[in-house]
Amino acid sequence: MMHDALHNIDLITYDLDGTLLDSAPDLALAIDDMLRAMALAPAGIDRVREWVGNGSRRLVERALVHAGARGPDSAQLDEALALFMQFYARHLVSNTRCYPGVMACLEAQRERGIAQALVTNKPSRFIAPLLEATGLEGFFSHTLGGDALAQKKPDPAPLLHIARALDIAPERAMMIGDSRSDVQAARAAGFRCLAVTYGYNHGEPIAALNPDHLLDSLEELV
Ligand SMILES: O=C(O)COP(=O)(O)O
Ligand SMILES: [Mg+2]
């Protein structure tokens, strides 16, 4: 039987980090390489996991503030971000894996004829190589990175952009994500909202945001 969450849904937009992919280990490697290159102390994966979700610039800024970098002013942030992008490109798929149930869920919705798209706050340039390395390429009609439009999640713009491109009404669309930016973007766009409990969400339980549905695994949507 089909899960209730999928009732009357024609489009699913998925978040990437913390929802489809456990990417925190590689993000942490890159952040720590960046900090070391700037003669600052490494942060470690447990902290980095809490900083993911608002794009690379905010991730780097949080790391610099935590490491006690004075400022950080925008020149220092630019320099750190350039280092991070360079290191992350090298570590993109060293340890990054799909969460259990992801592939089966994507296959099941494809079979059902539900349109699927990806909306991440991650820089666009990393999307294709990550999808390719994890076997997730080919499932999404549209992919949008955090730098693709002027506004990123929690702004509803990327979700509405995709709904419009596919000519699907927001009330027939659902966002699946792991963090408050996903829940807020879904609400503001008029999308149904499903949250996974295993993701990052800045160290706080996503249940506190009252998404329409909560899942421990995307396997439940198969
Ligand atoms: O780059 C980030 O901050 C996380 O991106 P996400 O939107 O895929 O969780
Ligand atoms: Mg996420």
ipTM above 0.85, yes or no: yes
What is the full per-residue pLDDT of the chain (222 aa) written as tens digits?
789 999 999 999 999 999 999 999 999 999 999 999 999 999 999 999 999 999 999 999 999 999 987 778 889 999 999 999 999 999 899 999 999 999 999 999 999 999 999 999 999 999 999 999 999 999 999 999 999 999 999 999 999 999 999 999 999 999 999 999 999 999 999 999 999 999 999 999 999 999 999 999 999 999
Domain termination site, one of 60, 91, 122: 91
Question: What pTM does this model have?
Answer: 0.96
Whether residues 187 and 78 share a domain: the answer is no
Judgement on whether residues 38 and 108 belong to the same structural domain of the protein: no
Q: Is 17 helix (H, G, I), strand (E, B) or coil?
A: strand
What pLDDT is recorded for position 102?
A: 98
User: Measuring CA to CA, how many Å separate 88 from each of 8, 167, 211?
Assistant: 39, 35, 31
- Ligand 1 atom showing the smallest separation from residue 122 Cα: 1
Ligand 1: residues with CB < 6 A are 15-18, 52-56, 59, 120-122
The closest alpha carbon to 114, from 7, 4, 17, 1, belongs to: 7
Residues that place a CB less than 5 A from ion ligand 2: 15, 17-18, 178-179
What's residue 198's pLDDT?
97
Which ligand number lies closest to the CA of residue 52? Answer: 1
Total domains, the chain: 2
Residues of the binding site for Mg(2+): 15, 17, 178
Looking up residue 123, the CATH number of its domain turns out to be 3.40.50.1000
CATH number, domain containing residue 72:
1.10.150.240
Please give the pLDDT value at position 73: 87
Q: With contact defined as beta carbons under 8 Å apart, do 211 and 193 qualify? A: yes
Among the bound ligands, the one closest to the CA of 51: 1
Same domain, 107 and 199: yes
Residue 217: closest CA among 22, 9, 19: 19
61 and 110 share one domain: no
Can you spell out the DSSP letters for 179-209? Answer: SHHHHHHHHHHT-EEEEETTS-GGGS-GGGG
Distance of CA 76 to CAs 37, 57, 79, Å?
13, 12, 5
Structure tokens at 18: 């913390």
Q: How many CB atoms lie within 10 A of CB 129?
A: 13
Q: Which domain covers residue 60, as residue numbers?
A: 24-91
Q: What is the pLDDT of residue 1?
A: 75
- If you search the block for the tokens 């666009």, which residue do you land on? 124
Q: Are residues 131 and 31 in the same domain?
A: no
Same domain, 58 and 113: no
Q: Buried b / exposed e across 34-70, counting CB within 10 Å, b at 16+? A: bbeebebebbebebbbbbbbbbbbebbbbbbebbebe
Pairing of strands 11-14, 192-196: unpaired
Q: Tell which of 91, 121, 140 closes a domain.
A: 91
Residue 147 DSSP code: T
Residue 10 CB contacts under 8 Å (≥ 6 apart), including other chains: 114, 115, 168, 172, 173
